[in-house]
Chains A and B, each alone.
Chain A
Amino acid sequence: MNDINFLKKIALQVRKDIVEMTYHAGSGHPGGSLSAVEIMVSLYFSVMKVDPKNPDWEDRDRFVLSKGHACPVLYSVLARKGFFSPEDLKTLRKFGSHLQGHPSRLKTPGVEVSAGSLGQGLSVANGIAIGAKMLNKDIRVYCLMGDGEIQEGSVWEAAMTAGHRKLDNLVAIVDYNNLQIDGWVEDVKGLAPLADKWRSFRWHVIGIDGHDFDQILSAFNEAEQTKGCPTVILAETVKGKGISFMENKAEWHGKAPNRQEYIEALEELGFLKGGESID
């Protein structure tokens, strides 16, 4: 059912979209978008029940992008899934666009939760998960956070709530790319031992390579089988993944590629071969 080659093909397109969107915007956050590509493609093209023709479908699964700055990857995946036209992607961050610099649920079809101020998404995801349980509906809630983001104290308030309330319809994913704006997470304010932290907050913890589709899909499957507590997936990733000059560089957290870098990136992804026009 899960055709990995199909997912890989979409992931490549999404990487191209991220580079293209931020290039056209002249700003944005490519690094933490590229690190989350495989996770996001897995969610929207294999794991989650969603209907792009009916974005408000009552029984849909819910996705919360708590690391709101990574919205290029969310917008790309939503567009490729059919929530809106991929043509719109080039309007990212532009005046009048529905694709705001950070996600807005009032503007973009498929965006469930407005985000941008870090550390808030897991609390909102808790509320949605509690609401789903009250309705006795089989709705699953997914919340993607950054590793730097979980330095925010409110994340741990939310972690405590989800553990206490045994929200087993909730899955948190930490995009563990080890970098934040000012450098290595371990230098700025270290998280280790991160798995122990979540376990002590009464979560089931799964560690994976966040770029390996087999591992991602099996982790989401394990999360669904886990009853009586929420699951967190600690996904080891590479910031800027797929564009070699962006990989593992904090400076690509919030910087757009210039024209030359854009061409190089497309070439590396295999989209430009021998002097094609990019315009």
Chain B
Amino acid sequence: MTKNTAKKNTATREAYGEALVELGRENRNIVVLDADLSKSTKTEMFAKEFPERFFNMGIAEQNMMGTAAGLAASGKIPFVSTFAVFATGRAFDQVRNSIAYPGLNVKIAATHAGITVGQDGASHQSVEDIAIMRAIPGMTVINPADAVEAKAAVKAAALMEGPVYIRLGRHKVPVVFDEEKYEFKSGKGVVLQEGGDVTIIATGIMVAQALEASKLLSEKGIKAKVVNIHTIKPLDEDLIIECAKQTKAIITAEEHSITGGLGSAVAEVVSERFPVPVKRVGIKDRFGQSGLPEELLKLYNLTAEDIASAAAELIRKK
């Protein structure tokens, strides 16, 4: 393998496509289903190498989820891909009743999550997919921060038993992690930087923004601890409580609605076990809209500056 992705901005969907091909070579039970979006979701990379294990189900997401359930019941490990809005919205009932309730081993890898979809606008920008998937009993929910983490998470998901939702993006984002050293441990949060004044808990593409925010804060003399939560469910509650005890203030950051996503999950555990002030940076009960990803991230207050100012304000309230 050439390391052509190193340090160059890469979309997590690209890493997904690469991971599927590698998985396909390693394990003959891997099968992939798509609903007429294989070029966009990057499953076409798998389709080209393993046409006999790739199933284009046409524009029929509900049927695709059900078929994946049947394939899992036959001992296959299906990866199912479409855009996050369709995977979690259009086919919700099939994900709930045909996949999750019977505990079937289906991996839902949904791309084009969040507002960084960009110009397609609100109908294609899922701001609630984490909330929906998190509410389903037994569903593992993973939101990788960059291409390195996405690839490792996809490979780890193939080895897990049971349903997994993996949230992937369309937009090229900075590579945060070193592929040589990176190790994915499902359900474990990762401390990326120590600091005692405030903890920034981030997920997905907001992890890079959180690291940027900590630099802005250090210029003001504020030392921020930065934590990456790639697995939103099961949540690394112990690490979050440790952060609450240590810094007494928590900022969450996600490219998702603040209703039901990472911010909610963190607030739930903190309020139950060790209440400290929590401020959620995310999308505030709004749909997305057309625009370039950078324009939208600014408009919806999802930048490093937004995280830093929320943190500075929260510290004043401590």
Q: Which residues of A contact B (CB under 8 A)?
A: 104-106, 112-117, 119-132, 134-135, 153-154, 157-158, 160-161, 164
Q: What are the residues of chain A within 8 A of B177 when measuring CB–CB?
A: none
Question: Could you tell me if A161 and B102 are in contact, using CB atoms closer than 8 angstroms?
Answer: no
Given contacts A117-B96, A123-B64, 20 further A-B contacts (CB under 8 A): A104-B102, A106-B103, A114-B97, A116-B97, A117-B98, A120-B66, A120-B98, A122-B66, A124-B67, A124-B70, A124-B73, A126-B70, A128-B73, A130-B55, A131-B70, A131-B71, A131-B76, A135-B74, A160-B60, A161-B67
Question: Could you tell me if A160 and B98 are in contact, using CB atoms closer than 8 angstroms?
Answer: no
In-complex Cβ contact of A129 among B65, B69, B70, B94 (8 A): B70
Can you show 6 pairs from A to B with CB atoms below 8 A apart?
A106-B102, A123-B63, A123-B65, A123-B69, A124-B70, A160-B60
Question: Could you tell me if A154 and B70 are in contact, using CB atoms closer than 8 angstroms?
Answer: no
B68 CB–A CB distance under 8 Å: yes
| A128–B102 alpha-carbon span in the complex (Å) | 15
Beta-carbon contacts under 8 Å, B121-162 to A: none
Question: Could you tell me if B93 and A117 are in contact, using CB atoms closer than 8 angstroms?
Answer: yes
Contact with A along B155-180 (1 / 0, CB 8 A): 00000000000000000000000000
| A154–B66 alpha-carbon span in the complex (Å) | 9
B101 CB–A CB distance under 8 Å: yes
Chain A residue at minimal CB-CB distance from B78: A127
Chain B residue at minimal CB-CB distance from A64: B70
Nearest-Cβ distance from residue A43 to partner chain B, whole angstroms: 18
Q: What are the residues of chain A within 8 A of B78 when measuring CB–CB?
A: 127
Chain A residue at minimal CB-CB distance from B106: A127
Q: What are the residues of chain B within 8 A of A124 when measuring CB–CB?
A: 66-67, 69-70, 73, 98
Nearest-Cβ distance from residue A97 to partner chain B, whole angstroms: 17
| A109–B126 alpha-carbon span in the complex (Å) | 39
Which 3 pairs, one residue from A and one from B, show the smallest C-beta to C-beta distance? A127-B70, A123-B66, A131-B74
Q: Which residues of B contact A (CB under 8 A)?
A: 31, 52-53, 55, 57-58, 60, 62-76, 78, 93-94, 96-98, 101-103
Question: Could you tell me if B98 and A123 are in contact, using CB atoms closer than 8 angstroms?
Answer: yes
Chain A residue at minimal CB-CB distance from B68: A127
| A124–B68 alpha-carbon span in the complex (Å) | 7
| A115–B60 alpha-carbon span in the complex (Å) | 20
Q: What are the residues of chain A within 8 A of B71 when measuring CB–CB?
A: 127-128, 130-131
Chain B residue at minimal CB-CB distance from A135: B74
Q: What are the residues of chain B within 8 A of A123 when measuring CB–CB?
A: 62-67, 69-70, 94, 98
Q: What are the residues of chain A within 8 A of B93 when measuring CB–CB?
A: 117, 120
Question: Could you tell me if A161 and B58 are in contact, using CB atoms closer than 8 angstroms?
Answer: yes
Nearest-Cβ distance from residue B162 to partner chain A, whole angstroms: 11
Of B53, B74, B101, chain A has the most CB atoms within 10 Å of the CB of B74
Q: What are the residues of chain A within 8 A of B64 when measuring CB–CB?
A: 123
| A2–B105 alpha-carbon span in the complex (Å) | 38
| A104–B97 alpha-carbon span in the complex (Å) | 10
Q: A120-B66, A123-B65, A123-B69 are in contact. Are A131 and B75 (CB under 8 A)?
A: yes
Q: What are the residues of chain B within 8 A of A126 when measuring CB–CB?
A: 63, 66-67, 70
Question: Could you tell me if A105 and B63 are in contact, using CB atoms closer than 8 angstroms?
Answer: no
Nearest-Cβ distance from residue B294 to partner chain A, whole angstroms: 38
Chain A residue at minimal CB-CB distance from B67: A127
Question: Could you tell me if B67 and A154 are in contact, using CB atoms closer than 8 angstroms?
Answer: no
Q: A130-B55, A130-B71 are in contact. Are A104 and B101 (CB under 8 A)?
A: yes
In-complex Cβ contact of A114 among B31, B62, B68, B101 (8 A): B101
| A125–B74 alpha-carbon span in the complex (Å) | 10
Q: A106-B102, A120-B97 are in contact. Are A127 and B60 (CB under 8 A)?
A: no
In-complex Cβ contact of B73 among A117, A131, A157 (8 A): A131
Q: What are the residues of chain B within 8 A of A121 when measuring CB–CB?
A: 66
Nearest-Cβ distance from residue A131 to partner chain B, whole angstroms: 3
Q: A114-B97, A134-B76 are in contact. Are A161 and B70 (CB under 8 A)?
A: no
Question: Could you tell me if B102 and A114 are in contact, using CB atoms closer than 8 angstroms?
Answer: yes
Question: Could you tell me if B74 and A113 are in contact, using CB atoms closer than 8 angstroms?
Answer: no
| A123–B74 alpha-carbon span in the complex (Å) | 13
| A134–B67 alpha-carbon span in the complex (Å) | 14
| A131–B57 alpha-carbon span in the complex (Å) | 15
| A121–B93 alpha-carbon span in the complex (Å) | 12
Nearest-Cβ distance from residue A63 to partner chain B, whole angstroms: 12
Chain B residue at minimal CB-CB distance from A153: B62
Chain B residue at minimal CB-CB distance from A126: B67
| A116–B60 alpha-carbon span in the complex (Å) | 20
Chain A residue at minimal CB-CB distance from B103: A106
| A131–B70 alpha-carbon span in the complex (Å) | 8
Q: What are the residues of chain A within 8 A of B72 when measuring CB–CB?
A: 127
Question: Could you tell me if B70 and A130 are in contact, using CB atoms closer than 8 angstroms?
Answer: yes
| A262–B122 alpha-carbon span in the complex (Å) | 56
Nearest-Cβ distance from residue B24 to partner chain A, whole angstroms: 14
Chain A residue at minimal CB-CB distance from B35: A157
Q: A106-B102, A124-B67, A161-B58 are in contact. Are A113 and B94 (CB under 8 A)?
A: no
Of A120, A121, A127, A131, chain B has the most CB atoms within 10 Å of the CB of A127
Q: What are the residues of chain A within 8 A of B55 when measuring CB–CB?
A: 130
Q: What are the residues of chain B within 8 A of A116 when measuring CB–CB?
A: 97
Q: What are the residues of chain B within 8 A of A132 when measuring CB–CB?
A: 74
| A123–B80 alpha-carbon span in the complex (Å) | 14
Q: What are the residues of chain B within 8 A of A112 when measuring CB–CB?
A: 73
Nearest-Cβ distance from residue B298 to partner chain A, whole angstroms: 40
